[in-house]
Chain A
Amino acid sequence: MASKDFFHSVRLDEEKCKGCINCIKRCPTGAIRVRRGKAYIISERCIDCGECIRICPNHAKYAERYSFNEILDYKYRVALPAPTLYGQFNNLDNVNYVLTALLRLGFDDVFEVSAGAELVSDATRLYLERSDIVRPVISSACPAIVRLIRVRFPNLIPNVLDLNAPMEEAARLARARAQKKTGLAPENIGVFFLTPCTAKISAIKQPICNEKSAVSGVFGIKDIYPVLLAQMEKLTRDEVEKLADSGFAGVRWASSGGESAALKDDRYLAADGIENVIQVLEELENEKLNDLDFIELNACSGGCVGGPLTVENPYVAKARLQRLRKYLPESCNRLAGAEIPREMRWETPLEPVDILKLDKDIRRAMEKMQRLNEIEKLLPGLDCGTCGAPSCRDLAEDIVRGKGAIEDCVFFTRDTADGSGCIPIPAPFRKSGEAKEKGDSRD
């Protein structure tokens, strides 16, 4: 597969990486290995969830950052704030403070992602009315989940909702509004998403079910937070413009369960945190959740408010959004007709990415598995990670895939080397008929 298929927003600062094992242990898809003392990402396995950024004690894993000057490349600039942004500020009772401050930062317009979310909710309701769909329907709003499904649960692809996420919908509408207002060509209109997470950066830079994203650029909430806060503090009450155009139905998408609540259907499940999500997908695969209509999954604990690029604790942010409820209308955006507009749907279907198989040929895969199981028995089972793989079994798998050596295991090397430091070849590595080495009398 071409490398362009795997853009990643998660990067490694080699200077800062100490080669510790925190990230390899935390990665939900086993995508990181420490090699020559640095933590490298196996590109095709990474789903950009950002867990490694969160856990790295040395801040060596980071999200790709873009210069704020990028907005100057466009004649007309629109900011797309994720609803999570509203949860970052203390005592906020009017989202127009945030939106007006964004204009002061140099944007010409703002378009709330929560407005796009309300339309996606409407479209999802229409989708759920169809009789020809695979239930339960899995939300596609979290790009890390969509990527997780295509690498680890490819047989659940038919369940995934084929609608663009609220960010994409908001970007499309923001562009249409800007074009109508200014008459500018599309390339002169810059649409910038203020993101709580790394997965959205990848969804913009390399969408998987659309040719191109309608979003031109992206800034992490934590990066824009200080300058935005400074602008908000300068604003007086009568300077605040009335810009908000979404209700609580859209804003509550920021925390887990919000997307489901907007569907007005009780047969839903909302799970957040990547480990919980994986368990739910396992159960779904085993046909244990067939009595549900909808499954909302968020890779981050608490939902988007728990994103790795946020400032505030996810539960504090959620409480603040909850408080906004009384100042907001229920919902402000509805679809015009009873049909889902074609532009709201993916251009191309979600395709699986095959990272699991040991070999294309099943018989050869079985031979590899047999060797893998034998090699695993030679390893201490401590899952210490010192070899650079997350567990002994992962090292055994790396070895049969030709990506590792048993000598990488410090315990194996310590316990099997003879007086001169030579390590005898263990049985699973011998070619058939090859004589046992001297001194290897254990098997």
Chain B
Amino acid sequence: MSLIELHYDVPGDDFSRAGEASGNVKAQLKKLGFDPALIRNVVIALYEGEINMVIHANGGTIDVSIDPDCIRMVLADHGPGIADVELAMQAGYSTAPDNVRALGFGAGMGLPNIKKYTDDMRIDTKLGEGTTMYLRVDVK
């Protein structure tokens, strides 16, 4: 059990609300006095994950556990699942539909960025059932 546990429901298909969860986590991390670089890493990874849920999975849930030595995030959805995780991890690969790309999203940088800004990233995914992503950012 972490000292602070936060839970968010991410609505699907509403871009105007994407970023609410990561924005709220940012505000709390600032109040806790974490290093700005760590906050940036957490928020960028979380925002990418949040956007992925909106674009691909019709929403989902985010759980964030905050400890003095690390931040853990679990992003779970009941979306279509990822067919080829390795391919999805490649920069520039995207399955986002055109209407989403027209909004400036879907550049195929979501998962690679999440990996870049986290210390650990694990993906459990099953086609037709959904994806759960486990992320950890360590306090350096």
Known: A363-B68, A366-B68. A286 touches B33 (CB 8 A): no
Q: Does A382 contact B (CB under 8 A)?
A: no
State the CA gap A287–B40 with chains docked (Å).
Answer: 8
Q: Does B36 contact A (CB under 8 A)?
A: yes
CB distance A369 to B40 under 8 Å?
no
Q: Does B32 contact A (CB under 8 A)?
A: yes
Known: A282-B23, A286-B43. A366 touches B36 (CB 8 A): no
Binds B, one of A5-13, A15-23, A353-361, A409-417: A353-361
**Chain B residue at minimum C-beta to C-beta distance from A372:** B31
Q: Does A407 contact B (CB under 8 A)?
A: no
The residues of A that contact B39 with a CB separation of less than 8 Å are 155
Chain A positions 344-375 with a Cβ under 8 Å from a chain B Cβ:
356-360, 362-363, 365-367, 369-370, 373
A356 → chain B, closest Cβ, in Å? 5
Q: Does A154 contact B (CB under 8 A)?
A: yes
CB distance B28 to A365 under 8 Å?
no
State the CA gap A154–B35 with chains docked (Å).
Answer: 11
Q: Does A14 contact B (CB under 8 A)?
A: no
A278 → chain B, closest Cβ, in Å? 11
CB distance A367 to B44 under 8 Å?
no
The residues of B that contact A282 with a CB separation of less than 8 Å are 23, 26
Chain A positions 115-148 with a Cβ under 8 Å from a chain B Cβ:
none
Known: A369-B28, A370-B3, A373-B4. A362 touches B33 (CB 8 A): yes
Q: Which of B3, B33, B36, B40 touches A357 (beta carbons < 8 Å)?
A: B33
State the CA gap A363–B43 with chains docked (Å).
Answer: 21
Q: Does B126 contact A (CB under 8 A)?
A: no
The residues of A that contact B44 with a CB separation of less than 8 Å are 286-287
State the CA gap A358–B30 with chains docked (Å).
Answer: 9
The residues of B that contact A360 with a CB separation of less than 8 Å are 33
The residues of B that contact A367 with a CB separation of less than 8 Å are 3
The residues of B that contact A357 with a CB separation of less than 8 Å are 30-33
A148 → chain B, closest Cβ, in Å? 14
Known: A286-B47, A366-B4. A356 touches B31 (CB 8 A): yes
CB distance A365 to B32 under 8 Å?
yes
The residues of B that contact A397 with a CB separation of less than 8 Å are 31
Chain A positions 267-299 with a Cβ under 8 Å from a chain B Cβ:
282, 285-287
The residues of B that contact A286 with a CB separation of less than 8 Å are 22, 26, 40, 43-44, 47
CB distance A365 to B33 under 8 Å?
yes
Q: Does B76 contact A (CB under 8 A)?
A: no
Extra A-B contacts (8), CB below 8 Å, given A154-B36, A286-B22, A365-B33 = A285-B26, A358-B33, A359-B33, A369-B4, A369-B31, A370-B3, A373-B4, A397-B31
